[in-house]
Amino acid sequence: MIKNISNKIYVIENELAANSTLIIGKKGNILIDTSLFPKKAMKIKQFSKDISGKDISLVINTHYHPDHTFGNSAFDCPIVSHKLTREFMKQMDENYLKQLKLEDIEIKLPNVVFENYFEYEDGIKLVIYSGPGHTLDSSYIHIESENIIIAGDTIITDIHPEIVPDSDLELWINTLENMPKVSNIIPGHGKIGNKEDIDKMIDYLEKIKQMKSGNINAYKLENDPNFKNRKHPELLKWSLENLLPS
Other C-beta atoms closer than 10 Å to the C-beta of 112 total: 15
The pLDDT assigned to 95 comes to 86
Quote the domain boundaries for residue 163: 2-243
The residue length of the chain stands at 246
Instruction: Give the separation between CA 8 and CA 159, rounded to whole angstroms.
Output: 27
Produce one character per residue of 121-147: b if its CB has 16 or more CB atoms within 10 Å, e if not. Answer: ebebebebbbbbbbbbbbbbbbbeebe
The pLDDT assigned to 90 comes to 96
The pLDDT assigned to 19 comes to 97
Instruction: Give the separation between CA 166 and CA 87, rounded to whole angstroms.
Output: 14
CATH number of the domain encompassing residue 225: 3.60.15.10
The pLDDT assigned to 86 comes to 98
The pLDDT assigned to 246 comes to 56
Instruction: Give the separation between CA 40 and CA 43, rounded to whole angstroms.
Output: 5
3-class SS of residue 198: helix
Identify whether the C-beta of residue 193 lies closer than 8 Å to the C-beta of residue 187. Answer: yes
The pLDDT assigned to 185 comes to 97
For helices 196-212 and 169-177, the axis angle rounded to 10 degrees is 160
Instruction: Give the separation between CA 106 and CA 97, rounded to whole angstroms.
Output: 10
What separation in angstroms does the CA of 214 have from each of 28, 192, 218? Answer: 51, 33, 10
The pLDDT assigned to 127 comes to 98
For residue 240, give the H/E element and its range: helix 233-243
Number of separate domains in the chain: 1
The pLDDT assigned to 15 comes to 67
**Cα-atom radius of gyration of the chain, to the nearest Å?**
18
Per-10-residue mean pLDDT of the chain, 246 residues long, equals: 90 86 97 95 96 97 97 97 98 87 88 98 97 98 97 97 96 98 95 96 96 84 92 92 77
Q: 142: closest CA among 158, 126, 131, 157?
A: 126
Other C-beta atoms closer than 10 Å to the C-beta of 100 total: 13
Identify whether the C-beta of residue 40 lies closer than 8 Å to the C-beta of residue 31. Answer: no
